Amino acid sequence: MTTLLLGAEPLKKAVMDANILVVDDEPAIRRLLSDWLSRQGYHCMTAGEADEALEVISRERPDVALLDLALPGQDGVALAHRLREQDEELALIMVTGMQRFDAAVEGMRLGVLDYLLKPLTQQQLIDSVDRAVRWRDTNRRLAQERKRLEDAIERRSVELASAFAEIEHISSSVLEALLITLNTRNPEAFEHAKRVASMAAALAEVLRVADSERVHVQRGALLHDIGKVAMPDALIHKPGPLTDEEIAIIRTHPQIGHSIVSVVPALKPAAEIVLASHEAWDGSGYPQGLAGGAIPIGARITAVVDTYDALTWARVYHDPVTSVRAAAELVRCAGSQFDPDVVQAWLRLIDRHSTTVQ
């Protein structure tokens, strides 16, 4: 037990309260660690082995778990697996007297935040736990913010679906009028959708898409970003780089758009285009990871003209580029992001009608 403590040093006070689970098979070490932490304002609970730790976590909700690597029956890494299954946000710290490379690698995969090697000082323990508590609090706050955002998007999605459900007669003019109403705070979004729909209809004709399908292509292209209307303007028009969480939320807009549009039976084919409008030819797109011909032709057309329009018109996050540079970007991504045949057909079209297509 005494090997845990290395010298006396002034302690920095813990900056916040938290619940700490101390797991070690030696009672004296459990008491010492708990005493160190308790004197700094932490609330401690203890366990001597894996099953007892799992029982504690089923009753309580610790913020941090200090796990000894060498536990009877089941080591700290195996216990970390089981604790992570019960609480994905639990902050994990390993406290061990041995250095094991395999345990360190597996711990990194599980998101173990720190390794404390015995002997350690009281200050090392407090500093490590304090960092872990900050990490846990940050994750909880982000999770709460994401939940509030998702709830707001869900409420807005229901409102949009209700608006679509009230459509009595489907026509381009009716859909455009509805989009104008829904985009009153962002008229550029409607203008973009209208341009994309016009270009998609022209490209569908060049590709000899059946007449009966062209109307669905045009409607799907017109509505391809409708899911973004459910999202807060601050997120959609954020001038700086998006966080991973924000990107994940924005990438839900095809599913949201599909759920909104598909409430109208006559728009179900268009809804499928909306859903697949961000799929990629090589299967790297989202949300379903479709590839090649599995992607509806209307979605493949929409992807090309949507990108072309996004590049050639000013956005919050970039200035417009020339038609030549936009075409070069489409060529560069043909075969990966875009259907090569659709790209070639679009290039032929803009070459013939550059003054009327843009």
Q: Domains in the chain, please, with CATH?
A: 2-139 (3.40.50.2300), 167-357 (1.10.3210.10)
What is the predicted pLDDT for the residue at 100? 62
Q: Report pLDDT for 181.
A: 76
pLDDT at 109: 63
Spell 190-211 as b/e; 16+ CB within 10 A means b.
bebbbbbbbbbbbbbeebebee
Q: In sequence order, what are the beta bridge partners of 179? A: none
Taking the CA atoms of residue 180, residue 182, residue 187 and residue 188 in that order, the dihedral angle to the nearest 10 degrees is -110
Q: Which two tokens stand for residue 167?
A: 């459509």
Within the chain, residue ranges assigned H as helices are 27-38, 50-59, 76-86, 101-110, 122-165, 172-182, 187-206, 211-222, 233-236, 244-250, 253-261, 268-276, 297-312, 323-333, 340-357
**In Å, how far are 88, 300, 306 from 269, measured between CA atoms?**
39, 14, 19
DSSP assignment of 51-96 equals HHHHHHHHHS--SEEEEESS-SSS-HHHHHHHHHHH-TT-EEEEEE
Of the residues 118, 194, 228, 268, only one is catalytic, namely 228
Q: List the pLDDT tens digit at each of the 358 positions of the chain.
A: 434 544 444 455 444 578 999 998 889 998 999 999 999 889 999 998 888 888 888 888 899 999 888 777 777 778 888 888 888 888 999 887 666 655 555 556 667 888 888 788 899 999 999 999 998 888 888 788 888 888 888 888 898 888 888 887 787 778 888 888 777 777 788 899 999 999 999 999 999 999 999 999 999 999 999 999 888 877 877 777 888 888 989 999 999 999 999 999 989 999 999 999 999 999 999 999 999 999 999 999 999 999 999 999 866 556 788 999 999 999 999 999 999 999 999 999 998 865 444 4
Concerning whether 228 is annotated as a catalytic residue, the answer is: yes
- Identify whether the C-beta of residue 86 lies closer than 8 Å to the C-beta of residue 55: no
CB 123 within 8 A of CB 12: yes
What's the confidence (pLDDT) of residue 102?
59
One-letter amino acid for residue 89 of the chain: E
**What's the pLDDT at 89?**
82
Q: Are 276 and 269 in contact (CB under 8 A)?
A: no
Kindly state the helix (H) or strand (E) to which residue 115 belongs, with its residue range.
Answer: strand 114-117
